[in-house]
Structure 1
Amino acid sequence: MTKKKTTEVRRDEIISASLRLIEKNGLDNLSVADIAAEINLVPSAIYRHFGGKEEIINVLIDFVDRSLQTNAASVAGSSNDAVRKLESLYKLHTDFLKTQPAIPRIVFSLLAANKNPTLKKRIISVITDYAYQVQNILAKGQCNGDIISTIDPAATALLFIGMMQPLIILSQSEDSSVDILKQEMWAVYARGIRN
């Protein structure tokens, strides 16, 4: 007899399956039936753990938020040098996107459409909070003399986040130069902000 899985284990399986399907087919094509088929369940079993697709997407947004906040918190005490903190955060962020390729598809899909304003508002809030943390690192770096005083921390934080988009696009190809480009992009950014 097969041992029944706990609710937590089953929810994790559903989220993992959702991420795989989004990576393959995009967020708009995600369906409860496909998630169930991906993990050999009937659709009604998914509804025992989630109220439907929207609730699953909300949990995915929570996952993005937790991941970004964890990365930001992990660099908070890593160095007194703001540029080194940002470099560590950049590596964590690019590694996260590399290991979770469905995440950019979720973010771009929610930002591009107005199908669900509540979900769109939530993902914007997650990105805004993360940008604010980057902005704080930059502002503190200016106070410490690590970062040049002539930059605007808010705009420079957005540039930090914006560096991810070309890497995401290039990672869709089999181009092995993505890792080299990632390092070169960081070097350009760091030269532009270091005092």
Structure 2
Amino acid sequence: MLTAGAVALALCAGAWLINDGSTGSAPPQPGPSADTGTPSAGADPGGSRVPAAPPLPASPPVRMRIPAIKVDAPVTDVGLDDQDHLASPPMDNRNLVGWYRQGPTPGAAGNALTVGHVDNHSGPTVFYRLGLLRRGDTIEVVRRDRKTAVFTVDSVRLFPKDAVPTDLVYGPTDRAELHVITCGGTYDRKTGYQSNVVVFSHLTAAR
């Protein structure tokens, strides 16, 4: 079972700002237009008006595309480490998304959880620009069954890594949702990023 802070520990503890924290700028953070109000588990976190599409049968993801921030990356499955924290994709791969294989597949009913690094020692990685997403942007997930699940962003939130709301981020839902998570907030050279950026979205189409 995932616990509050599990994602933060997996993604933030070993991440360094560009050039090992000595130079460069922090990744973009969610702005005021990215979120409206405080969401509850299973509800549109941003009050999206885009109707939810019926859930799809289960099928593992193989690729994620986020046109607004030019993400086009393969997806690998990740599980839990020996401390029951969510494992992260390999740090040295700059263009790779992790999907939590013990949860729902993207497009199926429930909360599909995906994670990725914001940077590594070489520079920005797959989710460096995740904080720029806004309500209404789309996320496309290509699945093994060759269907593409299209999700619409409801909200983009920033949570302190020691206070991630477990029910909100990991809790069950009846509809098909996708949560995308990376590091964010201020950066401490000893402990890494202090927060997590979480994108909440729901299935709105399939093709």
TM-score, with length taken from structure 1: 0.22
Larger Rg: 1
Structure with the largest fraction of helix: 1
Structure with the largest fraction of strand: 2
TM-score, with length taken from structure 2: 0.21
